[in-house]
Amino acid sequence: MAAPPEPGEPEERKSLKLLGFLDVENTPCARHSILYGSLGSVVAGFGHFLFTSEIRRSCDVGVGGFILVTLGCWFHCRYNYAKQRIQERIAREEIKKKILYEGTHLDPERKHNGSSSN
């Protein structure tokens, strides 16, 4: 029972919780990792079955593929997400500095133009 969003606020997506606790919709990179993991699981499991015709072993390969592909996508996506957050923070601070110091001797643009003309 979520609180209704304030006017102008983006609506929180309806949460889908895998195994009752992993909120796939609202956790960054979770949906992407689980989807690719499921695809990897189907490809690995079905591929193994096509070559060997062993059902149980193919299921094991499928589960292993799901775990490995999900983990791999997860770390890759979270690494990029962390890099993006850092870049956003740097951009936000630069914008703030620019607004605060524009026209003064501390203006970052003036410093930058000064160093490039030297």
Partner 1 sequence: MAHAAQVGLQDATSPIMEELITFHDHALMIIFLICFLVLYALFLTLTTKLTNTNISDAQEMETVWTILPAIILVLIALPSLRILYMTDEVNDPSLTIKSIGHQWYWTYEYTDYGGLIFNSYMLPPLFLEPGDLRLLDVDNRVVLPIEAPIRMMITSQDVLHSWAVPALGLKTDAIPGRLNQTTFTATRPGVYYGQCSEICGANHSFMPIVLELIPLKIFEMGPVFTL
For the bound state, the minimum distance from the C-beta of residue 18 to partner 1, rounded and expressed in Å, comes to 6
Which one-letter DSSP state was computed for residue 14? Answer: P
Cα angle value 65/68/73 (rounded, 5°) = 115
Question: What's the chain's Rg over C-alpha atoms?
Answer: 24
Helix orientation angle between 55-101 and 30-52, rounded to the nearest 10 degrees: 160
> Of the listed pieces 43-51, 71-79, 98-106, 108-116, which binds partner 1 according to CB under 8 A?
71-79
Site string for partner 1, 8-47 (x = CB under 8 A): ----------xx-xxx--xxxxx--x--------------
**Which residue ranges make up the site for partner 1 (CB under 8 A)?**
1-3, 18-19, 21-23, 26-30, 33, 56, 63, 66-67, 70-71, 74, 78, 82
